[in-house]
Copies of this chain bind each other. A is one copy, B any other.
Amino acid sequence: MKSITVELADRSYPILFLPGLVTGADSAAQAPLAAAMGDSIFVVSNETVAGLYLASLQKLLGDRKVDVYIMPDGEQHKTLDQIDAIVGELLAGGHTRETTLIALGGGVVGDVAGFAAAVYQRGVAVIQMPTTLLSQVDSSVGGKTAVNHPLGKNMIGAFHQPKMVVIDVETLKTLSPREFSAGLAEIVKHAALADWDYFQWLQANQDSIMARDSACLMTMIEWSCRIKAVIVASDETEQGQRALLNLGHTFGHAIETLSGYGVVLHGEAVAVGLMMAADYSVRTKTLFDAAPTQLAQLLTAFALPTALPKGLNKADFLQAMNRDKKTTTDGLRLVILRDLGRADVTSRINERALEQTLDFFLENASGSG
């Protein structure tokens, strides 16, 4: 069994790779998970994922006390109301501080269940069981949990490390092409900010990846999880290096906020955000001129957008960027590229270059919005 440890002293935890665990193909993989769980379990999932995998998870949980909360599908349900509802069910079920929550689903389920675990009785354990590519390589690892506020994404949240992350790559076989591609955006981001070898590997294996070859997916997800685990271990609460993971995200969050949550997928917004960060980096002479083309080729091969949706305007875009969480009192901070495989955080913003980037992308908007 493959595993990676996220090193965080007394909050260290394993990322376990257990193909077939929740898809039911391999029950031998269940032992280490079963051993780690307590007697009282509360599963949070959504309508789609529960229909596919809840029965086999429940079988796996055996005769433990198990309650289940099924939330509606979609980013628009990442709200405080869902937290209130989950806490109500936890209390109604008599769950104590020793209960373990299991987040079975994608990024929304992981964020909501993770935040519910962070605040229920001031904190209970959570096991992340991500079932989308995006959540397997990104949101399930690192302890960031949050819900949205109408005025901003992820504005209400907590750092709450999971007790364990369990990844079953077989779940990716049932993902829609659009959601699969959205996950690849974070993978391209990992390669672009941290590892030129990984970037080249993605270029070389793009066809196998899009064909969802199991061995290829496993290599890729492990590679991304390792990059993320190292960065999180070095900077749990984003005082420094962890901010590199926001490459493309300040632009991306503005796209999501202005389009309305759930219209553009997070990964799609990040893909365009990566292009904008690269464009800005070229304009400010930190990145070589041909890099955006290479980035665009890879994103396009992964069926991701590289242009803004139509209908956005510059003033709103700038305001949304300035309201982003990464903003400090000194003003906006941006993650820039110094190479494909190397990034940096800067708060010295070249306003003129930023406006040029926005103008260029707004003029060349092509996606539906």
CA distance A80 to B82 in the complex (A): 11
In the complex, which of the residues B118, B122, B151, B325 contacts A146, with contact meaning CB atoms closer than 8 Å?
Answer: B122
Q: Is A144 part of the binding interface, using a Cβ–Cβ cutoff of 8 Å?
A: yes
* Minimum Cβ distance to chain B for residue A160 (Å): 9
Residue-wise, chain A 120-137 has the 8 Å CB interface mask toward B (1 for contact) of 111100000000000000
B329, A98: Cβ atoms under 8 Å? yes
Known pairs A83-B80, A96-B328; A122 contacts B158 (CB<8 A): yes
* Minimum Cβ distance to chain B for residue A64 (Å): 11
Residue-wise, chain A 85-125 has the 8 Å CB interface mask toward B (1 for contact) of 00110011010111100000000000000000011111100
Residue-wise, chain A 61-92 has the 8 Å CB interface mask toward B (1 for contact) of 00000000000000000001001100110011
> CB-nearest residue of chain B relative to A115?
B119
Known pairs A83-B80, A327-B96, A328-B97; A88 contacts B149 (CB<8 A): yes
A123, B80: Cβ atoms under 8 Å? no
Q: Is A152 part of the binding interface, using a Cβ–Cβ cutoff of 8 Å?
A: yes
Task: Tell me the A133-160 residues at the B interface (CB within 8 Å).
Answer: 144, 146, 149-152, 155-159
Task: Tell me the A305-331 residues at the B interface (CB within 8 Å).
Answer: 322-323, 325, 327-329
Q: Is A5 part of the binding interface, using a Cβ–Cβ cutoff of 8 Å?
A: no
> CB-nearest residue of chain B relative to A330?
B98
CA distance A157 to B91 in the complex (A): 14
Q: State the A residues within 8 Å of B (CB).
A: 38-40, 80, 83-84, 87-88, 91-92, 94, 96-99, 118-123, 144, 146, 149-152, 155-159, 237, 322-323, 325, 327-329
CA distance A83 to B29 in the complex (A): 42
In the complex, which of the residues B40, B122, B150, B237 contacts A144, with contact meaning CB atoms closer than 8 Å?
Answer: B122
In the complex, which of the residues B119, B323, B329 contacts A156, with contact meaning CB atoms closer than 8 Å?
Answer: B119
Q: Determine which residue in A96, A97, A146 has the highest number of CB atoms from chain B within 10 A of its CB, and name it.
A: A96
CA distance A96 to B322 in the complex (A): 10
* Chain B residues whose C-beta falls within 8 Å of the C-beta of A144 in the assembled complex: 122
A149, B84: Cβ atoms under 8 Å? yes
Known pairs A97-B325, A149-B87, A328-B98; A120 contacts B158 (CB<8 A): no
* Chain B residues whose C-beta falls within 8 Å of the C-beta of A80 in the assembled complex: 80, 83-84
* Chain B residues whose C-beta falls within 8 Å of the C-beta of A38 in the assembled complex: 329
* Chain B residues whose C-beta falls within 8 Å of the C-beta of A91 in the assembled complex: 149, 151-152, 155, 323
CA distance A327 to B119 in the complex (A): 17
B151, A92: Cβ atoms under 8 Å? yes
